[in-house]
Chains A and B, each alone.
Chain A
């Protein structure tokens, strides 16, 4: 019964949600909407569990004095600081530097978001520019016919879709880049997307029919 009951629940929910699509009636629609909401509420509990497990991992790291445990203090401190900032009532004022409560302009919450989260996350992604430049120099070779095709397309798109391309070479380069995007590129992506769609469909069917059981965990 350890696996049977969850499987029955899963199959019932899955089959109902799939069939509901074709049944325009009030009662199924009502159940459908509430099931969608249930996913949001119960699923949010699962997300909170994920965050709790991240924190307990770092608490454990500190307890065991594992290498680099000092960083875990920083992570935990900033976690609680940020989480607390979002629950502060509007009338709280932490001083002119930290800011006010709530989530309005000048709040501690938005200060943390705009001046801590934003620069770190944005710069992490900006680093990728350097790595892609390095990859362009090291790995992007015209080794074969198809590799050359890839390289030429990339160069045409890179030059044709920025203003300097048509400015120096004439409009043909941007027209060519536009055509590549709209025609051969769209065709290639259609092949990929139909494939991805088949993958999503087969995985969903396997879940709903109870064939895919990895989520139940191993053993017993």
Chain B
């Protein structure tokens, strides 16, 4: 056992109390749980505040702005950047003022939303459609033998992926009634989707249990620390 300081023991014991406060919710909702809940909301927002000021505003805006004001000189690119952002940040803050001034915050919001939505148009076509469908055909020719094998990429597996993904898509297509050949395809699609959701459920169980194991490990380590 490495030496542990008293300070560490006290902090860890505090952490144990918080852990037990949260676990107490399993019996029923209670004030101790609520205390811990409010503590974490307070702490995580305070923590985020640091990241926004110290790690975002300061390096990206305040430092270049200071260089501009103190006459250290700034490239034309950064000067425009500093000024544009000053205007839009003030617009955004006008939301706090309310009334007609708050309408200007929509201008700032428009930049944020427009930029974020605009980049997504080519990227989503590329990532979710082009590359994904490429996955359906590419490997098909590359691994023809053995035809059936569970452990390696095979033509059979690729065929299954093509059939499964297309029939699954058919199931999500609601503009056409699920009847006849199309209905049969959609039904096959449900089978694949169910296997997919089953795998997700199995893995979700794994994930949740891992987190609980981690907490119990923490309590055990604390017991080892104090006794």
A residues with CB within 8 A of B: 2-3, 5-7, 9-18, 21-22, 30, 34-49, 51-52, 54-55, 68, 71-72, 74-87, 96-97, 109, 111-130, 132, 136, 140, 146-147, 149-158, 161-162, 175-176, 178-198, 200-201, 203-205, 207-208, 215-217
Contact = CB atoms under 8 A, between A and B. Distances in A.
B149 to A, nearest CB: 9
Contacts of A178: 150-151
B194 A149 contact: yes
B42 interface: yes
B205 A154 contact: yes
A14 B125 CA distance: 16
B137 interface: no
6 closest residue pairs by CB, A with B: A197-B128, A191-B168, A187-B164, A188-B196, A153-B198, A17-B118
Nearest to B44: A117
Interface in B9-57: 10-12, 14-16, 18-19, 21-23, 25-26, 34-50, 52-54, 56-57
Interface string B154-196: 0001001111111111011000000000000000011111111
B211 A122 contact: yes
Contacts of A147: 194
Given A37-B81, A71-B34, A185-B196, A215 B202 contact: no
Contact of B215 (A126, A179, A205): A126
A49 B43 contact: no
Interface string B52-96: 111011001100000000000000010011001100110011011
25 contacts: A38-B81, A77-B42, A79-B46, A82-B45, A82-B46, A85-B46, A86-B47, A112-B43, A117-B40, A121-B44, A123-B19, A150-B194, A152-B198, A153-B197, A153-B199, A154-B205, A155-B202, A183-B164, A188-B193, A190-B132, A191-B172, A194-B132, A197-B124, A197-B132, A204-B121
Nearest to B35: A74
A38 B81 CA distance: 8
B138 interface: no
Contact of A190 (B42, B93, B165, B199): B165
Contacts of A120: 18-19, 21-22, 36-37, 39-40, 43
B117 A208 contact: yes
B99 interface: no
B193 to A, nearest CB: 5
B109 interface: yes
Q: Dominant SS at the A interface?
A: helix
Given A126-B211, A191-B169, A82 B47 contact: yes
A16 B122 CA distance: 12
Contacts of A68: 34
Residue picked from B88, B169, B196, most chain A C-beta under 10 Å: B196
B206 A18 contact: no
Nearest to B126: A21
A162 B14 CA distance: 34
B120 A86 contact: no
B46 A187 contact: no
A203 B124 CA distance: 11
